[in-house]
Amino acid sequence: DASLPRYRLSEVKEHDGKAERPWVVHGDKVYDITEWISAHPGGSVILRAAGGSIEPYWNIFAIHKNDYVYDILQQYLIGFVHPSDLEDGKPPQDAIEDPFADDPIRHPDLITKTVKPRNAETPGEAMSAQFLTPNDLFYVRNHMWVPRIAEDESDNHLLSIELLDGSIKEYTLRDLKTKFREHQVTAVLQCSGNRRKHMSDGSGRATNGLQWTAGAISNACWEGVLLSDVLRDAGFENDQGMNGTSEVKHVQFNGMEAYGASIPIRKAVDPQGDVLLAYGMNGKPLPRDHGYPLRAIVPGHVAARSVKWLNQITLSEDESTSQWQRKDYKCFGPNQTKVDWDKAPAIQELPVQSAITALRLGDWVKEPAVPASVPDAAATSQDEPAADGRKVTLSGYAFSGGGRAIIRVDVSVDSGKNWTQAYLLPDCDPKPGSPTSLCHGHGAWTWKRWMYKGVIPASVFAQGEPEKVESVENAVSPDAASDPPPRRCTTLLVKATDEVYNCQPESHAATWNFRGNLANAWHRVQVCSEC
C-alpha cells in the first residue's frame, strides 16, 4: 500500500460523477469505483459521491457502515490523499461536500422537524383554512437529498419501464405529456408517521422515528397521466393484472436518489384506482421537494408508495427490495419490539384518521349547559337548566384510505362522556366531476374538512381533570374571558368513521408499535377553563 500514489484533493475532484473513471475518498484513501458502479445495489447513486468523500453519503445510508462494504471498497484502492490535504489524517471538513447543499429553500411557515434531510409539517391553521394545501405549505418527507433536474432539461427526464421478460421501454417526460391523456386526481398524502408524537405521548412509550404531530398529511390536486395507460402502452395486459392471472404481482417504483417502494399490480391497473405519474401539483409544476419533475401518486395508500423523482418502474413477481418496502413501514403488536420484518405486510391502504388542527376558545356565555344535539348529558348539568359555558370552535381533517369516504366525525368536549357530530365541509360535493368541484378521481381520495362550534359547559370544567402541564397544541388564547371558574381542565376529542364503519381506536396504547406507524387513536387536546 505504501507504494501507492498520493493524490491532491483537486485531482480527486476531477474524477466526479461525469468523469470516465469516478473516484471517491474514504478516510485518507482514494478509490476508483468505475468497476463497482454496475454492481452497486443502489445503482448509480454512488456517483453523487464521486470526486469527493463518500462519508456524508454513508451517514445517510448507514447500511454501508459494515465490514462487508469496507471489503468491497478495498478492492478498488488506488492511492492516498496527499498529506498536505489532510487534517488529523482526514480531508478537512470544508473539503467534504454537503449532500444537502443543493436542497431548495423552504417556506418559513412549515414546521421543521429535520433540516438534513428535509422534513417538515404543514401548520395546523393552513390545514383547516384550505381544502387544497398550497404547494409551499405541503408537508415534506425526504429520506435523502433533493435531486436537481434543470428546468430546460425536465422534458427530457427519462422514465424506464422494465417488463417481466426484462425488456425495457423508455419514455421521456415529453412523451408522457404528449402521448397520453392528462388526468387530474385530488388526493391526500399521509406519512405513515403522521401523529407519531401523539402515540409516544399518549401511550407513554417512546417510538422510533420523526416525532410528527398532526401535520404529516396534506391534500392536493395532482396532474399527470394514468400509470395504467402507460403500462398498457408499454405492452402490459392490464386485464390480467386486474383479474390476477398475470405473473406480475407488484409495480416497483424507483426514485433518482435511490428511494424505492412498490404497490400491488391490481391497484396500479384498476380503472378506478387513479394511480398517476404526476408532473403537476395544484396547477403548477411539481416543486422540487415534492418530486420534480415526475412522481407516482398512489391515492388512498400510505404516502411512502408515492415515489418522488421517479425514473424507473419495474413490473415484478416481488415487492420492491428497498428497505422502505421490506424493513420499515410495517406495524407489529404493542409487545413486539424485536421483530421478523418478513412476518408483516407492508403498509398499503391507510386506516381511518382524524385530527383537530385548529382550536379557539371563545368567551364565557350564558348558554344551556347541554348543547341541544347531545341527548344524554351529564346528570349534574340537567339539575341546572342554564349555566355558564365557554364557547369553543374546532376544526380539522378526517381521512380514510382505500378511497373509503368519511361518513361522520364525532366530537366530545367532556373527555368522551358525550358526543356530537361535527359539520363536514362540502369541498367535494358540488356535483362531483363538475368544474366547480374541487375533487377529481373515482374514490374518496381527499380529506374531509370538518368544523365544530359549541359550548363547553362550566360543569364540565368544574368536574374536569386538574390541568396537565403539557402545552396545548394549536390552542389560541382568547382575547377576553370574564369570571372564569377555578382552573380545571377537560379533554376535547375527535374521531371519525368511514363508509365501511371502520373507526379509530380509543387509545394509542392499543396500537402502539415500536416504529410508531399508523398512529390513529382519537385525537385528544386538553383545554383548561383559563386557557
CA distances for 472 relative to 28, 113, 377, angstroms: 51, 19, 26
Closest CB to Mo ion among residues 141, 197: 141
Q: What track of x and - describes contact with ligand MTE for positions 393 through 412 (by CB under 6 A)?
A: --------------------
Q: Which of 151, 197, 194, 158 is nearest to 174 (CA)?
A: 158
Is 64 known to be catalytic? yes
CB 211 within 8 A of CB 112: no
Asked whether position 141 contacts Mo ion by CB under 5 A, the answer is yes
The 3-state DSSP class for residue 280 equals strand
Q: What track of x and - describes contact with ligand MTE for positions 280 through 299 (by CB under 6 A)?
A: ---------xx---------
Active-site option among 57, 139, 191, 488: 191
290 binds, among Mo ion, ligand MTE, none (CB under 5 to 8 A by kind): ligand MTE
Asked whether position 227 contacts Mo ion by CB under 5 A, the answer is no
Q: Which amino acid is at 276?
A: L
Closest CB to ligand MTE among residues 258, 374: 258
Of the candidate residues 140, 276, 444, 472, the single one contacting ligand MTE (CB under 6 A) = 140
Peptide bond just before 432 cis, omega within 30 deg: no
Helices of type H across 146-259: 173-179, 196-203, 227-234, 238-243
Which secondary structure element, helix H or strand E, spans residue 14, and what is its range?
Answer: helix 9-14
Site stretch for Mo ion (CB under 5 A), options 7-15, 185-193, 426-434, 470-478: 185-193
Q: What track of x and - describes contact with ligand MTE for positions 254 through 283 (by CB under 6 A)?
A: -x-x-x------------------------
Q: What track of x and - describes contact with ligand MTE for positions 182 through 221 (by CB under 6 A)?
A: -------x-x------------------------------
Is 329 known to be catalytic? yes
Q: Which of 169, 147, 148, 166 is nearest to 158 (CA)?
A: 169
Minimum Å gap between C-beta 143 and Mo ion is 9
CA distances for 225 relative to 233, 255, 259, 433, angstroms: 12, 18, 22, 17
Q: Which of 424, 507, 420, 506 is nearest to 460 (CA)?
A: 420
* Alpha carbon distance 398, 495 (integer Å): 8
* Alpha carbon distance 519, 199 (integer Å): 6
Active-site option among 15, 118, 141, 196: 141
Closest CB to Mo ion among residues 231, 304: 304
Asked whether position 295 contacts Mo ion by CB under 5 A, the answer is no
Active-site option among 6, 40, 232, 442: 40
DSSP string, 282-321: TTEEPPGGGTTT-EEE-TTB-GGGS-SSEEEEEEESS---
Q: What track of x and - describes contact with Mo ion for positions 3 through 22 (by CB under 5 A)?
A: --------------------
Which residue has the CB atom at the shortest distance from Mo ion?
A: 191
Asked whether position 304 contacts ligand MTE by CB under 6 A, the answer is yes
* Alpha carbon distance 341, 327 (integer Å): 6
Closest CB to Mo ion among residues 304, 444: 304
Of the candidate residues 7, 31, 212, 309, the single one contacting ligand MTE (CB under 6 A) = 309
Closest CB to Mo ion among residues 64, 308: 308
* Alpha carbon distance 6, 91 (integer Å): 13
Minimum Å gap between C-beta 375 and ligand MTE is 41
Asked whether position 330 contacts Mo ion by CB under 5 A, the answer is no
Active-site option among 26, 48, 64, 404: 64
Closest CB to ligand MTE among residues 193, 202: 193
Is 141 known to be catalytic? yes
Q: How many helices (H) and strands (E) does the chain have?
A: 13, 27
The 3-state DSSP class for residue 516 equals coil
Give the phi and the psi of residue 342 in degrees, each rounded to 5. -70, -10
Site stretch for Mo ion (CB under 5 A), options 50-58, 227-235, 297-305, 441-449: 297-305
- Copy the grid coordinates of residue 45: 447513486
Peptide bond just before 83 cis, omega within 30 deg: no
Closest CB to Mo ion among residues 173, 191: 191
Contacts of residue 320, defined as CB under 8 A and 6 or more positions apart, other chains included, come to: 250, 252, 253, 254, 260, 261, 262, 326
Of the candidate residues 49, 137, 191, 370, the single one contacting Mo ion (CB under 5 A) = 191
Site stretch for ligand MTE (CB under 6 A), options 53-61, 240-248, 304-312, 394-402: 304-312
Site stretch for Mo ion (CB under 5 A), options 8-16, 22-30, 191-199, 271-279: 191-199
Q: Which residues are catalytic?
A: 40, 64, 141, 191, 329
Binding site for ligand MTE (CB under 6 A): 138-144, 189, 191, 255, 257, 259, 289-290, 303-304, 306-309
Binding site for Mo ion (CB under 5 A): 141, 191, 304
